[in-house]
Amino acid sequence: MAWQVKRTRADGTRTIRVAWRDKTRGGKTQSETFLASQKQAADSFLRDVEAAGNQWPEGCIPGEGYPPPNPNPSG
């Protein structure tokens, strides 16, 4: 089960951290941080983590997110 932690950084920036225990990494806590203004993206990512069995979702690059779609999939 994934969860969200809302925080305010020292500079006043509000963030949402999506965290979960990744069974494939020895039960270590994994996380990805979003700006509070990206609430929908954080909620969507949490659902993706849970759908992937509490692992990094396929195609997601830790710390970078999902790569943009390839505009030319044939080449």
pTM of the model: 0.83
- What would the mean pLDDT of 45-62 be, rounded to a whole number? 93
Please write the tens of the pLDDT for every residue from 3-46: 999 999 999 999 999 999 987 767 899 999 999 999 999 999 99
SS3 assignment, position 35: strand
Whether the pLDDT of residue 71 is over 80: the answer is no
- Record the tokens describing residue 53, joined without a space: 């069995």
The secondary structure of the chain in percent helix, strand, coil, rounded to multiples of 5, reads 25, 35, 40
